[in-house]
Amino acid sequence: MKFGKEFVSQMVPEWQEAYMNYNFLKGLLKDVLRCRQKNMLTAAMSATPRSSLKRRVSLYRAFSGLTSRYAGSPRKNNEDEAILVSAVEEEGSERYYQTMFLMSSEAGGEYELVYFRRLDEEFNKVVKFYKGKVEEVMREAEELNKQMDALIALRIKVENPPVGFGAGAGGGGGGGGSGPAERLNHQDNGRKPGRVHMDAIQEVEMSNGANSEDERGRRNMAKSSKGREGKPDIEGFRRASLDILNHVKINIERETPISTLKGILTTSTSDLSFSKEELRKAEELMTKAFVEFHKKLRVLKSYCFLNQLAFSKIMKKYDKITSRNASKAYLEMVDNSPIGSSDEVTKLVERVEATFIKHFANGNHRKGMDILRPKAKRERHRVTYFLGFFCGCSIALVVAIVVVIHARDIMKNPGRALYMDNIFPLYSLFGFIVLHMLMYSANIYFWRRYRVNYTFIFGFKQGTDLGYREVLLLSSALSVLTLGGVLSNLDMEMDERTKSFEALTELVPLGIVIVLLLIIFCPFNIIYRSSRFFFIQCAFHCICAPLYKVTLPDFFLADQFTSQVQAFRSLQFYVCYYVWGNFKTRSHKCPESNVFKYFYLVVAVIPYAIRLLQCFRRWVDERDPSHVLNGLKYFSTIAAVVLRTANELQGGMIWKIMAAASSGIATIANTYWDIVIDWGLLRWNSKNPWLRDKLLVPSKSVYFIAMVLNVILRLAWMQTVMGIRDFPFLHRTALVAVVACLEIIRRGIWNFFRLENEHLNNVGKYRAFKSVPLPFNCDDDYDGKHA
């Protein structure tokens, strides 16, 4: 793989604009090469035949046998003095780096001058971004210092050691004490160590700036010194002051519907009660904070290394094209710059690892590093094998069903209508689920292909996210179960003796539903448990809206539910058919029940009501007026669904007119919101007319096709309003299923561009890491210096 492609593949997607633009600089070097070749060709053509022959020969290889032996030759001096690099500082501004090209008067020198100007711009951009990120992680390190001080003080308080800590240990203050955690962002805090008894607690710390020799010396000193009571006094240790507990409040309560209701009544943060449960929850939050902080530091180190390598590669390419020796001087400047000489991040990584291993892994280095650096998920061949196996089985079952239908002439059988009214809605539920999973697997494939960081956007844990192969495997397995059930239920005639169908085969759809629910809620670590529990958690948040703070996975899943209204109605039909109907004779009176009609309406409204409540909660939290407009959009959709359902159940011209008007308004509002707000398209002043400034898909026609398809598929649901319900070759239930499938396909297309737009928004704000809540809230006037 060429370096340019490898460089792009290793970039942090959200920081892509902050990396050195290697391909752009490479293009400028191509201009330099073309200019030099053109000048050499012109000189060769204008020379005499004899000199032309010499120049033609010299083009193959430059003669350097003499000049390479004499360091002071004019040619060597000219090569060494091709550029002058310097760091320039202006009053009131940061330092920036500038390169002076000394050979701009040569033929084609203007191209090289442009190259160095752009090179300096890229380098200054990288340095500025890196320095800003270093300052950011230093601030976070200082905050983690305070959090660790509070955590270890809480540990001491909860453990309640039997031996006292001397004056000020319980409340503090003594003059020589310092925070109990190692300082992450500096080596020496300049404080005098205090004294504690060794057997009081294990959380006493060494002085922060101590190296290994100092630690060994202090340990030897501790062994040689004895207290009057026979217990060793450790000279050089600083005690863990508990004074910080007077300046912090704990905030570890997980968000639940009950906690949200409590928060409405009171806004105060919970006080410390010094319980083991509080300590356990605080340690969990701090573990997550350290893991995320360590990940950020590693990515920042990678950013620094990749850019250094890119500047080295591009300068060596310049030397090769121009036969100069300018890379040495420029790379020396790179090495002396913040990205080459700053070791703050490296030292901070070492301190974070040492602190985490000591405080969260009980000194076990391997255990601590396994938590800090989780192993990447390995591709397994068995996934591909079973995927191919289930896909082959699905194709075989489809062929078998077609053959059976043709052999039995089922399409003309009198029992066809009974089958379509009773059995087809049962199996269509699984068809909707399989189709949605297929669309989601396609989304994952294209997100990865166009480097959309969907794992970060959704908040998946590293190594637990499903790839498109895994999703295809699950969907193909479900399709095998479904198609096998369909093949077993293709009987159109009752048993003449019992006047009923076989009970076992009639219970197959219900059995598949039960198996599916058991798999979803299975507590054992099988069949992608982390992904199943993540889905259950997001679904629970949707059900409890607006009592949970709305995150992107929550409202993204709720949007998927709005496209599965017909699947929810199929579940309602399951309950009615198997509880109040007679499944042995394939008969039921569900449409005649008023209760069924009311629930038929309520089930269709619930997904849109969830999104409406989520919009309300987001408006309360963020005070963004766009959430109010989004809520009004879903309110119009609810009105359209209610009137459409009333039109289906009641009939009449008035209901039809009202349903058509409300559906038209909802369709226009939803289509506009999809394309303009969710996708960020239709920007007339964009550099890509009617699209966005930034696009991930190279072909612009894809976006226009997607917009047209969105409009067409949005209009598909209007067929129920207009009364187009029956076709000579298509049963009414089959038509409903087709329309539902079109909506699922539209949602699948929407998913890709919605997440693409979200990814680009994160890129614009350089948001590459999720924020982790910290367990302690420190007082504003507390800085940790007096703990």
- Give first-to-last CA distance, the chain, whole Å: 54
**pLDDT exceeds 50 at position 677:** yes
Residue 455 Cα distances to 6, 299, 753, angstroms: 21, 16, 16
**pLDDT exceeds 70 at position 93:** no
Q: How far is CA 572 from the centre of its chain?
A: 34
pTM score of the predicted model = 0.81
Q: Which residues contact 578 (CB under 8 A, 6 or more apart)?
A: 510
Task: Tell me if 269 sits within 8 A of 251, measured CB to CB.
Answer: yes
Q: Where are the alpha helices (DSSP H) in 323-380?
A: 327-336, 338-341, 344-360, 365-372
DSSP classification of residue 675: I
Q: Which residues contact 641 (CB under 8 A, 6 or more apart)?
A: 565, 601, 604, 605, 608
Q: What is the per-residue DSSP string for 620-637?
A: HHH--HHHHHHHHHHHHH
What pLDDT sits at residue 65? Answer: 43
* pLDDT one-digit tens code per residue, 719-733: 655 555 556 667 888
What pLDDT sits at residue 415? Answer: 83
Q: What is the per-residue DSSP string for 136-193?
A: HHHHHHHHHHHHHHHHHHHHHHHH--SS---TTTTT---TT-B-SSPPSS-S------
Buried b (16+ CB within 10 A) or exposed e, 599-611: bbbebbbbbbbbb
Residue with the bigger pLDDT between 588 and 537: it is 537
Please give the torsion angle defined by the CA atoms of residues 112, 116, 122 and 127, in that order, rounded to the nearest 10 degrees: 160
What pLDDT sits at residue 671? Answer: 94
Joined tokens for residue 674: 């999809």
> What gap in Å lies between CA 46 and CA 49, rounded to an integer?
9
Residue 358's closest CA among 379, 372, 337? 372
Task: Tell me if 239 sits within 8 A of 762, measured CB to CB.
Answer: no
> What gap in Å lies between CA 112 and CA 33, rounded to an integer?
10
> What gap in Å lies between CA 216 and CA 168, rounded to an integer?
28
* pLDDT one-digit tens code per residue, 241-283: 677 878 788 877 766 777 666 666 665 445 667 788 888 888 8
The secondary structure element, H or E, covering residue 83 is strand 83-88
What pLDDT sits at residue 650? Answer: 76
Residue 674's closest CA among 719, 720, 637? 637
Question: Residue written as tokens 């693409």?
Answer: 756
DSSP classification of residue 777: E
> What gap in Å lies between CA 242 and CA 411, rounded to an integer?
81
User: 697 falls in which pLDDT band (50, 70, 90)?
Assistant: very high
What pLDDT sits at residue 80? Answer: 52
Q: HSE of 636 in the Cβ direction (CA atoms, 13 Å)?
A: 19
Q: What is the mean pLDDT of residues 491-495?
A: 81
Task: Tell me if 605 sits within 8 A of 644, measured CB to CB.
Answer: no
Task: Tell me if 691 sits within 8 A of 680, measured CB to CB.
Answer: no
Q: Can you give the length of the chain in residues?
A: 787
Q: Taking all residues of the chain, what is their mean pLDDT, rounded to a whole number?
A: 80
> What gap in Å lies between CA 653 and CA 639, rounded to an integer?
17
**Sign of torsion, CA 744 745 748 753?**
negative
* pLDDT one-digit tens code per residue, 196-249: 333 333 433 433 333 444 444 444 434 444 443 444 443 444 445 677 878 788
Buried b (16+ CB within 10 A) or exposed e, 133-142: bbeebbebbb
| 3-state DSSP of 542-583 | HHCCCCCCCCHHHHHHHHHHHCCHHHHHHHHHHHHHHHHCEC
Task: Tell me if 662 sits within 8 A of 639, measured CB to CB.
Answer: yes
Task: Tell me if 532 sits within 8 A of 520, measured CB to CB.
Answer: yes
What pLDDT sits at residue 201? Answer: 35
Joined tokens for residue 431: 């068809």
> What gap in Å lies between CA 3 and CA 704, rounded to an integer?
34
What pLDDT sits at residue 32? Answer: 86
> What gap in Å lies between CA 4 and CA 13, rounded to an integer?
15
What pLDDT sits at residue 519? Answer: 95
Q: How buried is residue 567: exposed, middle or buried, by Cβ count under 10 Å (0-12/13-18/19+)?
A: buried
What pLDDT sits at residue 161? Answer: 58
> What gap in Å lies between CA 102 and CA 88, rounded to an integer?
18
What pLDDT sits at residue 230? Answer: 43
What pLDDT sits at residue 206? Answer: 37
**pLDDT exceeds 50 at position 71:** no
Peptide bond into 546 cis (omega under 30): yes
DSSP classification of residue 664: H
User: 751 falls in which pLDDT band (50, 70, 90)?
Assistant: very high
> What gap in Å lies between CA 353 and CA 355, rounded to an integer?
5
Residue 587 Cα distances to 568, 579, 581, angstroms: 21, 12, 6
> What gap in Å lies between CA 446 and CA 118, rounded to an integer?
33
Residue type, 472: L
